[in-house]
């Protein structure tokens, strides 16, 4: 019994919500971060407990950033086999991981307000939402702890990313990573079988990859991270981006003021963010 | 009017506290994270407001990890000029930055319980505690927002750190980074003039550096980070480690089970953590 979960804003504030046909129904928490934290049980994500708490229909509800307070946002780089092979690299033995801050995230329709003097690039990604506390988990335990999947775009300042050996300063700009619009439970979508991850700029497709070619899948990544860091409900793991980013193009291409950046995954939905470059 | 602040545990729970001679006095918050968040004012750290709230004497108070809930922990690598020069590198133009999680931190006397199958190395560091919200700050604004300084040891799993290009997985192990024992306000200590940062293993000195040789000082780092990410009260910025780490020795040396790791900065205090390597 698959669910599409979100944090929505209504005329009376934000609430966790679940989609019922084309109507949003309230769930008993102010947002998905709180809902997932309260549902943390015996190491497994229990979708049934959420479903049974579904409340009244909401009017005028609009999805916002689904997870306002993740304790950890972990990102994987260099994870699409087809992209790695096309660049002539060997497939990696270990996932390349870096972190973002909670403040780095923004909503599925928010403007991306970014300084004009940096090189802004796109990275469409499948993101995994953690649904139960995980520590030193194996793949099966990790898989059972996945609350669902959402869409993210790891928008990156390439010049800052490559100023030093560590990518953080290109990856952790406030409100630069749109996430959402919904979190889809694992019985609705199977990234191992494969879903397409697509990025478009002003309607032009610039990335299309399939999650079946991920070197490290969602369960691999959660298990690996849980070896060194406890994952908790509401934490987010971004799985990496396929080929087609702007910095690798000839000539290079970066986001321009007014560009409409769309990030879409079949079975989840579409982020649509307008780029606003400021002085 | 300098202060030595801490989060202490007493028989009745934790509280923020200030040292008065050799006695701890309560401050009106359960820990320094809460105290600093409540004191966030007009972009400046206001030590006077804290001092005026000093309450009753505490008995049986022991400092624990001072900042239990930093929203951001930012670390700088390759920042000691003498160490960089001795390795033959050029001085960097930009600070090399990476992140830790709040869960990565632990207390000034806690055991470091770590898996025995990794290469555990030491990195004594001066840490800067943010006292006011900072966004796109210049050096003067950044300096005015420093709540104080504390001691940290960025204990690192070297083999994990170098598995991939990004250091996070060697740097973000749960409860691996001791911090404390106190936060000393900037009128008590001047890292620009220089204080010694020392690391000892079982009493043997393995690192000694002076903060006057930092390429990027505390104000530089806070201003730089605030260009891309808002810093908030209670956030922590680790300034990097001087020469003498185990991985750079001939032969290499790593922490062994039972080692007593001491990390000391003149004018602040000493972390004393016993290493427990487990299967």
CB A82 within 8 A of CB A213: yes
Residue B30 placed within a domain: no
pLDDT at A68: 95
Residue B85 has pLDDT above 80, yes or no: no
In this structure, is residue B37 part of a structural domain? Answer: no
Q: Does A274 touch chain B (CB under 8 A)?
A: no
Cβ contacts (< 8 Å) between B240 and chain A: which residues?
Answer: none
Report the mean per-residue pLDDT for chain A. Answer: 95
Q: Does residue B62 lie within any of the structural domains?
A: no
For A256, residues 6+ apart whose C-beta sits below 8 A from its C-beta are A275, A277
Tell me whether residues A166 and B96 touch, CB distance under 8 A: yes
* pLDDT tens by residue, B104-153: 999 999 999 999 999 999 999 999 999 999 999 999 999 999 999 999 99
CB contact under 8 A, B164 and A101: no
Does B81 reside within a domain? yes
Establish if B95 belongs to a structural domain: yes
pLDDT of residue B1: 64
- Residues B16, B29 contacting (CB under 8 angstroms): yes
What is the mean predicted confidence (pLDDT) over A213-229? 98
Domains identified in chain A, total number = 1
Instruction: Flag if B103 and A71 touch (Cβ within 8 Å).
Output: yes
- Let me know how long chain A is: 279
Give the residue from chain A lying closest to B96, CA to CA: A164
Q: CA–CA separation, B5 vs A238, rounded Å?
A: 38
Is B216 inside any structural domain? yes
Residue A257 domain boundaries: 67-278
A29-74 confidence digits (pLDDT tens): 999 999 999 887 666 777 777 778 889 999 999 999 999 999 999 9
Q: Do B101 and A157 touch (CB under 8 A)?
A: no
Task: For residue A238, give how far its alpha carbon lies from the nearest alpha carbon of chain B (Å).
Answer: 15
pLDDT digits (tens, 9 = 90+) for A65-112: 999 999 999 999 999 987 787 777 889 999 999 999 999 999 999 999
What's the pLDDT at A43?
A: 67
Give the residue, B63 or B40, on which the prediction is more confident.
B63
- In this structure, what CATH number is given to the domain that contains residue A196? 3.90.850.10
Of the listed ranges A259-263, B46-50, B129-133, the one predicted with least confidence: B46-50
Work out the mean pLDDT of chain B and round it to a whole number. Answer: 95
**Residues of chain A with pLDDT > 90: what percent?**
89
Domain contains B110? yes
Q: What is the pLDDT of residue B87?
A: 72
- pLDDT at residue A89 in the model: 81
- Residue A223 pLDDT > 80, yes or no? yes
Average pLDDT over residues B24-50: 86
Q: What is the pLDDT of residue B140?
A: 97
CB neighbours of residue B227 within 10 Å = 15
Q: A254 CB near a chain B CB, below 8 Å?
A: no
Res A175 pLDDT > 70: yes
In a domain, A122, yes or no: yes
């Amino acid at each position: 019994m698959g669910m599409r979960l979100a944090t929505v804003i209504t005329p009376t504030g934000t609430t966790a919500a679940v989609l019922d046909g084309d109507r949003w129904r309230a769930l008993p928490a102010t947002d998905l971060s709180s809902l997932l934290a309260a549902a943390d049980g015996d190491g497994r994500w229990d979708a049934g407990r959420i479903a049974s708490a579904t409340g009244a229909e909401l009017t005028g509800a609009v999805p916002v950033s689904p997870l306002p307070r993740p304790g950890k946002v972990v990102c994987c780089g260099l994870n699409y086999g087809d992209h790695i092979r096309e660049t002539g690299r060997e497939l990696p033995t270990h996932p390349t991981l870096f972190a973002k801050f909670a403040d780095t995230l923004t909503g599925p329709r928010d403007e991306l307000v970014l300084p004009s003097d940096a090189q802004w690039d796109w990275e469409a990604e499948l993101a995994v939402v953690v649904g139960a506390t995980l520590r030193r988990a194996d793949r099966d335990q990790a898989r059972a702890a996945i609350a669902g999947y959402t869409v993210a775009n790891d928008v990156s300042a390439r010049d800052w990313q490559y100023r030093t050996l560590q990518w953080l300063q290109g990856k952790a700009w406030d409100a630069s990573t749109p996430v959402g619009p919904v979190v889809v439970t694992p019985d609705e979508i199977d990234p191992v079988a494969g879903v397409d991850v697509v990025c478009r700029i002003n309607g032009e497709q610039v990335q299309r990859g399939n999650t079946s070619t991920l070197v490290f899948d969602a369960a691999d990544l959660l298990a690996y991270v849980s070896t060194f860091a406890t994952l908790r409900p509401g934490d987010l793991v971004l799985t990496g981006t396929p080929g087609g980013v702007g910095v690798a193009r000839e000539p290079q291409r970066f986001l321009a003021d007014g560009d409409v950046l769309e990030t879409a995954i079949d079975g989840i939905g579409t982020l649509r963010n307008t780029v606003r470059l400021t002085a």
